Amino acid sequence: MSQEEAAACRAVSPDLSRPPRTPAMAAGTEKDGNGESLMAPRRTPSLPGSPDLAEPGKPLCPHPGGGLGAEGQDSSGSPEYPLIIRTKKLVLHMDINNTILVADSATGQGLMAALNSYLSTVCWGQFNQEGKKRPRTLALLPAGEWQWLSEFPSLLPPSPDASSFSTNFGRHTEFTSSALGHPFQTLFSHYLQLLEWPGQPDAVFSVLGEDGRHYHRVLPAFFKLLAGLCQQGRRFAVIFRTFGKDLTSLLQTTHKALQGQHPQFSALKEVVLPVDLRPGKIRCSPKKVMVSRGKESVSSWPDARVVYDYFSAMEGLGGFQDHFDWWAKNNFSSQGGKPLWVDPHDPDVQHICFDDNVRLQDEESIFHPQVFMGQGRQECCTVPTSELYSICLVQNDLLQAIANPDYFLMTVSQCEDRYDQYLAKAQTDHSC
């Protein structure tokens, strides 16, 4: 990754609609060493894939709760973020849990548990005494041995010596209620309030939280994405990619929204976007990847371009369940992750993946990116996630997706800008 690309990836949590500040925390000291190769400058409120990278101090969501359907208003109007009109087709591979809805069907987590769990992955700290082995369970942690290095969550660490709470103690479904996570309780309550469903509960589009309140089942930013791209006259497809079992339910929910049944997005009935309700499957082996849906079936062997063309030709909305057992067999690394093919010699189609488990470190990332080695060639090679980070692979920022209704629209536009640069460079000097 070049210095320019690395600079574009540096980030800290945004100042989203000015959430209340958390109590002051111990400041970390930046040090040289073998920490993360990319780190976020302290308290610079912008994120990779987020708007206003040149203006890091500008709030991303100046109107709290804007576009979240407050007071029963229809939020499906023209996108507030102006997009450059482009002609290339977009194929958006969208994760489900903690990307377009706050939940985790694989573990059975409800909305509040999932939001807590997510926060535990983006809050950074360190053990006080370096070089001394520390217990990796909260129950055995002596008082005062852990200190926070940042007041706000961020996708990337604020310093080389920072590590996330979840890395040390695991994902915590009651993170902000714990003694260590309590400083982030106010922040948790803020985003929970933004998620709250306005008015009477809806059997399809709202979900009951663990606290007895009703919340948005699908993030409004996702429906704003569909409306915005259609209003721009874009050619695009949305492919849900999940390890969970909620694919059929989400396809049906989205289909009903496009029929105008969502109380805050009734204008979506004007959107002509076909929905394929058949859930597909993606299954991996050492030799090939099999993609099937209904009677359709394609394989990456001997020609991976067959699968690339299959996804590139898709229209409307559909979904596939990826191969969780294969990912687990490969130690949850990118090598066994969700397969993605990119052709840097195809100027007509761009594939963009949104997933909260995209990571710069390949050993922790969820997508297996493969790039074709030449124009029209069948052969492709695996590339590091960093080569396509914030270009074709987006580490979804759930907090921005909650607070900023234009988050997906803005991120897609920025990925397209970077993809144009990537194509120009890849076509001249790309090698595996």
Neighbours of 74 (CB within 10 A): 13
Helix (H, G, I), strand (E, B), or coil: what is residue 92?
strand
Helix (H, G, I), strand (E, B), or coil: what is residue 93?
strand
Asked if 359 and 395 touch (Cβ cutoff 8 Å), the reply is yes
Asked if 83 and 228 touch (Cβ cutoff 8 Å), the reply is yes
Asked if 223 and 408 touch (Cβ cutoff 8 Å), the reply is no
pLDDT over 90 percentage in the chain? 68
Q: What is the pLDDT of residue 253?
A: 97
Q: What is the DSSP letter of 266?
A: G
Whole-number Å distance between alpha carbons of 351 and 90: 6
DSSP structure string for 328-356? HHTTTSGGGSEEEEE-TT-TTEEEEEEET
CA-to-CA dists, residue 253 to 217, 221, 247, 379, angstroms = 9, 15, 10, 38
Phi, psi (5° rounding) for residue 93?
-95, 110
Cis peptide before 45 (omega within 30 of 0): no
Tell how strand 124-127 and strand 163-164 pair up.
Answer: antiparallel
Of 179, 183, 192, the closest CA to residue 115 belongs to 192
Residues 6 or more apart whose CB falls under 8 angstroms from that of 320 comprise: 239, 240, 241, 247, 279, 280, 281, 282, 291, 293
Asked if 38 and 168 touch (Cβ cutoff 8 Å), the reply is no
Pair of tokens at residue 139: 């129950």
Q: What is the pLDDT of residue 374?
A: 82
Whole-number Å distance between alpha carbons of 400 and 211: 23
Pair of tokens at residue 141: 């942690």
Asked if 48 and 191 touch (Cβ cutoff 8 Å), the reply is no
Quote the pTM value: 0.80
Of 351, 354, 340, 349, the closest CA to residue 394 belongs to 354
Q: What is the pLDDT of residue 141?
A: 60
| The amino acid at 56 | P
**Distance between first and last Cα of the chain:** 14
Pair of tokens at residue 54: 């040149």
Neighbours of 23 (CB within 10 A): 11
Helix (H, G, I), strand (E, B), or coil: what is residue 242?
strand
Of 308, 313, 276, 316, the closest CA to residue 295 belongs to 276
Tell how strand 146-148 and strand 124-127 pair up.
Answer: antiparallel
Q: What is the pLDDT of residue 407?
A: 98
Whole-number Å distance between alpha carbons of 252 and 275: 9
Whole-number Å distance between alpha carbons of 43 and 56: 9
pLDDT in tens, 214-249: 999 999 999 999 999 999 999 999 999 999 889 999
Whole-number Å distance between alpha carbons of 406 and 411: 8
CA 216 to chain centre: 17
**pLDDT tens digits in sequence order for the chain, 432 residues long:** 444 433 444 333 333 334 444 333 332 323 333 333 333 333 223 333 333 333 322 322 323 333 333 233 344 444 455 556 688 999 999 999 999 999 877 677 899 999 999 999 999 999 886 545 555 566 556 556 889 999 999 999 999 999 999 999 999 999 999 999 999 999 999 999 999 999 999 999 999 999 999 999 999 999 999 999 999 999 999 999 999 889 999 999 999 999 999 999 999 999 989 999 999 999 999 999 999 999 999 999 999 999 999 999 999 999 999 999 999 999 999 999 999 999 999 999 999 999 999 999 999 999 999 999 888 888 899 999 999 999 999 999 999 999 999 999 999 999 999 999 999 888 776 556
Neighbours of 213 (CB within 10 A): 17
Q: What is the DSSP letter of 237?
A: E
